Structure 1
Amino acid sequence: MFDSNPPSYTEPIYHPQFRFSNDIAAFQVQNTRFRVHEHFLFTYSSVFRDKYGQQFKSSNSNTSGNKRPEDENVIYLDGVSVLEFESLLKFFYESWQDSFSMPIMRWVALLAITNRFKFTEVEFRARREIFEGTGSRVICPVSRVFLAEKHAVPTKFIIPALEDLVRRTEPLQEMEVVNLSSETVARIGVAREKYVRESSRMLASEAWLERVVHDIVKSVWCIKEAPPGA
Structure 2
Amino acid sequence: MPTADLHNDMDYYIEPLIFQVEDTLYRIPREYLSQESTIIRDMLQVPQSINSDFEGSADSKPIILQQIKATPFRFLLKFLFNPDGPGHLGLSKEDLITLLELSRKWDMQIIRNKVINQLQPLLEGDPAHKWNLAKEYGINQWLQPALERLIRRSEPLGEWEYLMLDQDTFLAVAAIRESCYPVFMDTVNDYFDSEVTDISHWELREGRGAIDVNLSSITFECPRPAPYVDDGGADAESQSCDNIRAGEFYFELAVFKLGKCFYQVPNRPFTQHSPIFRRRFERLGFAKYDYENPCVLSSDISPTDFTNLLRFFFPPPQTTYKYTSEEWASVLRLASRWEMDAVKDLAVENLTKRGFGTSATKLQLAKDLGIQAWFSEGMQAIVTRDQPLAASEYQTLAPRYVVQAIDLRERGHTRYHQYIGQITHMRPERGELPVNISLSDRLAPLL
Name the TM tier (shorter chain): 0.5 to 0.7
Q: What is the rounded CA distance, in whole Å, between the counterparts of 1:189 and 1:217 in structure 2?
A: 13
Query: Does the CA contact (< 8 Å) of 1:23 and 1:60 recur in 2?
Result: no
Of 97, 117, 122, which aligns to 1:128? 117
The question of 1:46 aligning with 2:41 is answered no
Of 146, 149, 160, which aligns to 1:164? 149
The question of 1:204 aligning with 2:189 is answered no
Of 55, 76, 79, which aligns to 1:88? 76
Q: What is the rounded CA distance, in whole Å, between the counterparts of 2:50 and 2:174 in structure 1?
A: 58
Q: How does 1:47-196 map to 2 (within 5 A)?
A: 47-50=39-42, 52-54=43-45, 57-58=47-48, 62-63=52-53, 69-71=58-60, 73-96=61-84, 100-104=88-92, 105-131=94-120, 133=121, 135-137=122-124, 140-154=126-140, 156-166=141-151, 167=153, 169-173=155-159, 177-180=162-165, 182=166, 185-196=167-178
Q: What is the rounded CA distance, in whole Å, between the counterparts of 2:116 and 2:59 in structure 1?
A: 37
Report sequence identity in percent.
16
Q: What is the rounded CA distance, in whole Å, between the counterparts of 1:100 and 1:37 in structure 2?
A: 22
Q: CA deviation at 1:39?
A: 0.4
Q: What is the rounded CA distance, in whole Å, between the counterparts of 1:195 and 1:179 in structure 2?
A: 17
Q: What is the rounded CA distance, in whole Å, between the counterparts of 2:183 and 2:161 in structure 1?
A: 29
Query: Does the CA contact (< 8 Å) of 1:20 and 1:39 recur in 2?
Result: no
Query: Does the CA contact (< 8 Å) of 1:47 and 1:117 recur in 2?
Result: yes
Q: Which secondary structure state, in structure 1, belongs to the residue aligned with residue 88 of structure 2? A: coil
Change (3 A) 1:200 1:68: closer
Higher mean Cα deviation, 198-207 or 78-87? 198-207
TM-score, normalised to structure 2's length?
A: 0.37
Q: CA deviation at 1:27?
A: 1.5
Q: Quick one: which amino acid aligns to residue 142 of structure 1?
A: A
Q: Deviations over 1:100-126 (max 9, x none)?
A: 233223322221111221111121111
Q: What is the rounded CA distance, in whole Å, between the counterparts of 1:142 and 1:24 in structure 2?
A: 43
Q: Deviations over 1:62-92 (max 9, x none)?
A: 328xx99432x22222222222211221111
Q: Quick one: which amino acid aligns to residue 33 of structure 1?
A: L
Match of 2:22 in 1: 30
Q: What is the rounded CA distance, in whole Å, between the counterparts of 1:207 and 1:171 in structure 2?
A: 13
Q: Which secondary structure state, in structure 1, belongs to the residue aligned with residue 53 of structure 2? A: coil
Q: Which secondary structure state, in structure 1, belongs to the residue aligned with residue 66 of structure 2? A: coil
What is the CA RMSD across the aligned residues, in angstroms?
A: 3.3
Q: What is the rounded CA distance, in whole Å, between the counterparts of 1:33 and 1:136 in structure 2?
A: 34
Change (3 A) 1:99 1:128: closer
Q: Quick one: which amino acid aligns to residue 24 of structure 1?
A: P
Bigger relative contact order, structure 1 or 2 (CA pairs below 8 A, ≥6 apart): 2
Q: Which secondary structure state, in structure 2, belongs to the residue aligned with residue 26 of structure 1? A: strand
Q: Deviations over 1:24-61 (max 9, x none)?
A: 122222222111100021122112223x2256x55976
TM-score, normalised to structure 1's length?
A: 0.67
Query: Does the CA contact (< 8 Å) of 1:162 and 1:188 recur in 2?
Result: no
Q: CA deviation at 1:207?
A: 8.1
Query: Does the CA contact (< 8 Å) of 1:27 and 1:33 recur in 2?
Result: yes
Q: CA deviation at 1:196?
A: 1.9
Please list every run of 5 or more consecutive structure 1 residues that lacks an aligned counterpart in the other structure. Answer: 1-18, 223-230
Q: Deviations over 1:159-193 (max 9, x none)?
A: 333233334544452x654554x4xx312322331
> In terms of Rg, which structure is larger?
2
Of 212, 217, 221, which aligns to 2:446? 221
